[in-house]
Structure 1
């Protein structure tokens, strides 16, 4: 695989931003265009986090997808309560920059979006909000109920320094107080219920059996909501916790799902 970076002055963020782009060995700037899978990092991660997955290269080499890794810091890839416009950055700038610079399938049928934890949740939010851009969602351990969080349900994990989990103060800086407009905008169950039927999405998501009970529960809740709304999806519970080891083990299945949908579109 070939790893590149693209940098520009972002109008949405108000400063220079950089994305990482991974090209498969079969990529060519001419001829048949390539589908794109946008992959969003977890809380505390960045655009290089996915490169830490040991099996990323084999998964890319066996596929025919361009991968794009943007970053939003700890801002959840949304237009947040502080006025940071990472949703606008993603959908208005990153997508067009990639389509302008690379030989892509520049339509919703050639674009998927996925992510881990924070990024997995954001992938679902953005696909449901912007079905004109994305047709496939792929999530590992998605923190889907972040907009619904009240207080600090993770207080008992604060002593584990390996865990990057926002405090109540940090969470509300992004999402606003309970009942805020930002929280309403990204409520996953409202988004599923009110989705645009003219832009159907297919969803692949999984969660680790050793993940936090709250994380397992919210993934099961989203599974049930997707089923009730007749949204096509594949849901899996498999061994592992809330970490990159779990993500890495699932890369073959995740990319197989995305590749089969995007390449057959």
Structure 2
């Protein structure tokens, strides 16, 4: 793998940013089998790419510091892109930076102009944990033409419930809600509500494939079970996984392997044909 840290000025965020990019390269025995290498590494037509989102308190370096995702990506011959979103919930903030615009417009355009990345929807994926789990589904469901699949691990997927629980002191969260959202007490049914966004996708006939997972010891486990039930009531087709584990990298490092296997399988959600 070729792992690079890139610094550049973001016109959307209006400041210099740092991103991490991982590009698969031939390794080991592959290096002496030229013909097979050319078949395996799609540099000319563009590599599939996974945008990896961090959680609250994290940044662009979280995935590479705390997981082995670089090694897992090599197995699937996919590129990885990681950037910081502060504690924005991946929104165009009411008072702050336009992170949704950055992640869905400027960042992909920049990456594709520099690196051998495919511009096809079927080669574009997004995944994240905790705040990034919500972010992955939010970016995909609000931009269904951009992403084929979106995966959430331990995600704060019910944003209205997350706000309510945080205000009651039931869960800890670092979000400055009135800076992120225009009316945080009216998130249910808004364009930040994943259930609303899912219904919007259904109405257009384009629904990204969804993956949801959570550890049974995670403080967001009950929320994830509730989200699963609500989606099932809507007749949604999605992958749900749960197993022993908490809100930590031991769980996420294991689960991202399953997610990459799912992303690069040939299984297609019937709603996404």
Normalising by the smaller structure, the TM-score range is 0.7 to 0.9
Q: Bigger CA drift: 94-103 or 182-191?
A: 182-191
Over residues 119-166 of structure 1, what are the superposed CA-to-partner deviations in whole Å (9 max), with x where a residue is unaligned?
0101101101101111100111011122442263673666xxxxxx22
Please state if 1:111 is matched with 2:117: no
1:56 aligned to 64, 69, 76, which one? 69
Q: Bigger CA drift: 26-35 or 87-96?
A: 26-35
Aligned-pair distance for 1:180? 4.9
The aligned residue for residue 193 of structure 1 is 199
The aligned residue for residue 141 of structure 1 is 154
* Bigger radius of gyration among the two: 2
The aligned residue for residue 234 of structure 2 is 229
The aligned residue for residue 137 of structure 2 is 124
| Structure 2 alignment gaps of length 5 or more | 27-39
Give the TM-score taking structure 2 as reference length.
0.83
For these two proteins, the number of residue pairs brought into alignment is 254
Give the TM-score taking structure 1 as reference length.
0.86
Distance 2:189 2:254 in 1: 32
The aligned residue for residue 161 of structure 1 is none
- The 1:61/1:30 distance shift into structure 2, 3 A limit, reads closer
The aligned residue for residue 207 of structure 1 is 214
- The 1:252/1:151 distance shift into structure 2, 3 A limit, reads closer
Q: Bigger CA drift: 196-205 or 185-194?
A: 196-205
- The answer to whether the Cα contact below 8 Å between 1:176 and 1:183 also exists between their aligned partners in 2 is no
User: 1:10-159 maps to which residues of 2 (within 5 A)?
Assistant: 10-26=10-26, 30-148=43-161, 149-150=163-164, 152=166, 155=169
Aligned-pair distance for 1:174? 1.8
- The answer to whether the Cα contact below 8 Å between 2:22 and 2:70 also exists between their aligned partners in 1 is no
Aligned CA RMSD, in angstroms, stands at 2.6
